[in-house]
Structures are given as C-alpha cells and as structure tokens.
Amino acid sequence: DGGITQSPKYLFRKEGQNVTLSCEQNLNHDAMYWYRQDPGQGLRLIYYSQIVNDFQKGDIAEGYSVSREKKESFPLTVTSAQKNPTAFYLCASSAHLPGLAGGTGELFFGEGSRLTVL
Amino acid sequence: AQSVTQPDIHITVSEGASLELRCNYSYGATPYLFWYVQSPGQGLQLLLKYFSGDTLVQGIKGFEAEFKRSQSSFNLRKPSVHWSDAAEYFCAVGPGTASKLTFGTGTRLQVTL
C-alpha cells in the first residue's frame, strides 16, 4: 500500500540534543511537508520541499532543519536551538506542485511522531 | 490574510444523532476548502474537499459539507453519528497550493452511547 511512514512514533530527548525524525513516502509525490501540532492549535508549517535538493521555510522554521536528498525522503532535525520542541510532528506530501493543472492543495499525512523533551 | 475559525472547541453528541461542525473562513477569492479528521495519536485523513462546482460535497464515512459563499462557511454534517466518529476535525482553506494551506484549531467530537 502506498503511504507515508514516519519514525519513530515516540521520541524522548534531553535538553541540548539534536534529534532527527524520519519521513518516507512511496506515493511518488513531488512535494513534502513538515507540520507541528500543539494542543488546541491548528497545524503550523515548519518546512516544505517541492523538489529534490530544494526546500523552503514555513511559518515556524527557527530551530529546525531539513534535507531532501531523495524524492522519497524528507527528514526533519529538531536542533537544540528550538526552545520548545515538545510537540506532535506530522509529515505530509502532495501530488501536485503549485501552479500545475489539477492541483488542489490536498495533503496526505503520515501517522506522526511525538517528541518529548525531558 | 486568509484565516479559518472553528468556533466549537469540543462537541458531544449521542450516537445516532445528527452532527454539524462549523467552519468559517476569510479568503479574498474562491477558496479551496478541506475537512480532515484525526484520531488520537494519528495523522490526518481527508474527509472531503471543495474547489468548484456543486456547493454540497460528499465525502467519506457518510460526511458532507456545504460551501456557502455568502456566509463564508463550509460546515461539515453527518445525519447519524457512529461511536467511531469520535475524533478531532480540522477545517482548512487555501489557494490550491498545499504550502499555503491554513488550518483551523480543530473541533473535538465526543460520541456518547
């Protein structure tokens, strides 16, 4: 089955440590996204990538970094510079690039990774 | 700037009762509108979407939503709720580009038996 796989599902980090969240998709989608979700808030966009070896900052990129070396993979690193990293992180992909005919902005989501800073 | 308001943080309904979740948006042109559902500890799943055509759209799991331009609303409805519908529901609005999608803060649905 095609889909998005996030790992690990749960992750604990000590203050001052960097951690990397994995996101892999086999939907053959060009665009991939990372969102952060906090209780009582909507989803906030951290980073997105429309093509391999290119990515753009979202609304809350500070303290995070990403890479896009393969179409299928879009890992997110939560660095020690992120002041409040405890959250639920969601990876998503979309089939169409902006401006292409048929694009609607529909997102397909992974099951999420919960990061807790101890 | 575009925005989405889901005025109900938490709703409780009895199994078998009808359901309506409210979504109001602010957007300068014809929007692309979405409803997503999230079970606890899970990712989001698309229920339905609207971007043109018939203003009443049908989705999965028996849900439907109606786009009302005059009221800037896109309310989600279901005629008879099942216990398995208990989840959090998110409305989203955008221009047809996923990177520009704005999500509401969500409505948590509780279903009593």
Q: What pLDDT digit, counting tens, does each position of A25-43 carry?
A: 999 998 999 999 998 888 9
pLDDT for the residue numbered B1: 82
pLDDT for the residue numbered B53: 85
Summary mean pLDDT of chain B: 94
Q: Which residues of B touch A48 (CB under 8 A)?
A: 98-99
Taking residues B75-94, report their average pLDDT. 96
Q: Does pLDDT of B68 surpass 80?
A: yes
CB contact under 8 A, A109 and B49: no
Q: Which residue of B has its CA nearest to A46?
A: B99
Give per-residue pLDDT as tens, A1-29: 679 999 999 999 998 899 999 999 999 99
Using a pLDDT cut of 70, give the percent of chain A over it: 92
B99 touches chain A (CB under 8 A): yes
Give per-residue pLDDT as tens, B46-62: 999 998 888 999 999 99
pLDDT for the residue numbered A79: 94
pLDDT for the residue numbered A103: 58
Instruction: Give the CA distances from residue A88 to residues A21, A60, A84, B28, in Å, rounded to whole numbers and listed in that order.
Output: 11, 14, 12, 31
Q: b or e along B16-50 (b: 16 or more beta carbons within 10 Å of the residue's beta carbon)?
A: eeebebbbbbebeeebbbbbbbbeeebbbebbbbb
CB contact under 8 A, B98 and A42: no
pLDDT for the residue numbered A96: 67
B46 touches chain A (CB under 8 A): yes
Per DSSP, the three-state class of A102 is: coil
Q: How far A72 CA lies from chain B's nearest CA (Å)?
A: 18
B70 touches chain A (CB under 8 A): no
Cα dihedral sign for B78, B79, B85, B88? positive
Q: How far B18 CA lies from chain A's nearest CA (Å)?
A: 24
* Residues in Cβ contact with A5 at an 8 Å cutoff, skipping those fewer than 6 apart: A22, A23, A24, A25, A110
Of A58, A103, A108, the CB nearest to B97: A103
pLDDT for the residue numbered B107: 97
CB contact under 8 A, A110 and B101: no
Q: How far B101 CA lies from chain A's nearest CA (Å)?
A: 7
Summary mean pLDDT of chain A: 90
Taking residues B12-29, report their average pLDDT. 95
Give per-residue pLDDT as tens, B85-103: 999 999 999 887 777 889 9
